[in-house]
Structure formats: structure tokens, C-alpha cells
Amino acid sequence: MKAVVYREYGDPSVLKVEDVEKPAVKRSDVLIKVEASAVNPVDTYFRKGIRQVKEFPHIPHFDVSGTIVELGEDVDYLKKGMRVWATNISGTCAEFVTAQADAVFPLPLSASFVEGAALAMPFMTAHLALHYRANVSPGECVLVYGGAGAVGNAAIQLAKRAGAKVIATASNEEKSDICLKAGANNVILYKKEDIVETVQQLTNNSGLDVILDMSVSDNLENDLLMVKTGGRIVTIGSPNNNTPELPWRLLNTKHASLLGVLLFTAPSLELKRAGDEISSLLQQQTITALVGATYSFEEASKAHHALENNVYNGSIVLTP
């Protein structure tokens, strides 16, 4: 089968299309004919060697949508021909990939395969952050950093579905419009406005119940100034510094909770809960994946380059 692979760590140019062996189906697996594979920031960390792959050659990406073409012996609740999406599946940038049956979710006809791959990791991460970690409740006020990004945009939509008031941040008017379209009540243009002062104004000085932070090392002190007493800060990412300083006194003064979230280590029950709800919302057509661009497998290097240079808003998806 055709697959994108890399045989060494490096820049996007290490990505090549090669013929590789089709994966064998284990008893509890399904074989998916891949229609779309999304690239996420974590994929670039592995490609560059910031995180280590198990072996070379390595097939990248974790998000997939496609059609089930083969069932393992123990799989009796799924059918061949089902349209599905999944995340946390290693090696999805290939014509075929295997996945554990309980890790795939139905993709309704109302959603395209590109949308199915684009929503996978962003919506699962946002759902885990909001519900598993922050336990968001109706009427609470949630701040979402980077609302025009894939995870941020998903978080806006899911927080609104949960009945929260949503404040998003954006760098410009174009991205602000994306946030508002997703359902944000207010958008802070952080390059023009003081985020702490604006949050105080928007919340009548009561502060935020929940903050979803995509770059906690850059924002933590402000987060602790903005969060209300007993509020929750969920750290989704810290790409610029893996060991940020902790304003411990301010954290304690606010009685705040600093919560981590990581899709790859989340409990299976929470992943199942999140995936089932996302598929249900897709079926109801009440959520929408933010797709920035699509590329072919042969253009994988261009896709990774675009992601690393923030060329597009939303997810970047590759198709065979």
C-alpha cells in the first residue's frame, strides 16, 4: 500500500511516499481504508525528534477517517462499509490503517471524510479539557485562547453546547470572525487590547470560571489574575517552554486548580464518552470542523510546512 513515511528526523523534506506492507488485522481490530488523515502539531514534534518514534521507517499522523473494510475475529458490533473517524491511531497517513474497534466512531453522511479527520484530535482534546478535566457547567464563563485554531475553535463550539458563556482570544479581525461564527460571545484582540483588563470588564470583575490555555508558559500569570476564586485552568499546551515558572502564591491565593490534559494518556472510558458525544453532535449537525486546507499524500511536506508556519486557520488534512 502507499504511505507517507520518514526514515530520519528532520524538516518536512524527510517526508516521502513509499510502498509499504499492508497492516495485519488483530482479533479486536478493524482495518480502515483511509480517506483522510489530519496533521496536528504533535506530528511535527515527532518528525523533528522532539518526541521519539518507536522505529524507522515511521508512518506519521494519529487522526483518520475512512471506511471499515475488514473486521477482527472478536469484533461483532461494527460492520464492513461503515464510515468512521478516529484519533490516537498511529500511522494514519497511509492507504490502510488498523485500529482497535472500541477506538473508532461513526461518521454520519452529513460530514465529509475531510471533516471527519479534521475534527478528531481537536474535538477530542477540547471535550476532555472541558468535561473530563474542567467539568464545565451551564452558565459558567470560559476563556478559550486561540479560538481560530483547531482545538480552540472546537472548544468554543463544545463550551457553547454545554451552556457556557465563551470569551475567545484572536490576533486579528479575520480570526475574530472565525471565533464569533463558532459561537463565542466575545472576542479579545490581544494585540490591541489588554486581556486582563478586558476580561475584568466583560465579567464585571467577577473573573473566569474556566480557562483553556494553549500556551501556558506565556499566559499563566495572567490566567491566575483572571480566574475567579476556585476557578480551573486547563493546560492544553506549552509549546514555547515545557518547564514554565509557577506563580505559586497567586495560585494558592485564588484556590485555583491547574489541570493537565493529554489525549494520548486519557482514560479509555473518557475517550469513549467524548467520541460518542462528538459523533452524536455531528449527526445533529450542531458542530463543524474548521478545515484550513487539504493536501495529497504526495504533498505531505508542504502540509507540515504550512502547519509549522501557521499558514491556515484550522486543521490541515491529507488525502491519498
117-164 residue pLDDT tens: 999 999 999 999 999 999 999 999 999 999 999 999 999 999 999 999
What is the residue extent of each domain of the chain?
Answer: 2-111+289-319, 122-264
Residue ranges of the chain with pLDDT lower than 50? Answer: none
Q: Domain 2-111+289-319 is of which CATH architecture?
A: Alpha-Beta Complex (3.90)
The CATH class of the 122-264 domain is: alpha beta
- Roughly what angle, to the nearest 10 degrees, separates helices 150-161 and 113-127? 70
What pLDDT was estimated at residue 241? 84
What pLDDT was estimated at residue 239? 86
What pLDDT was estimated at residue 203? 98
pLDDT, one tens digit per residue, over 211-227 is 999 999 999 999 999 99
User: Do the first three CATH levels of 2-111+289-319 and 122-264 match, i.e. the same topology?
Assistant: yes
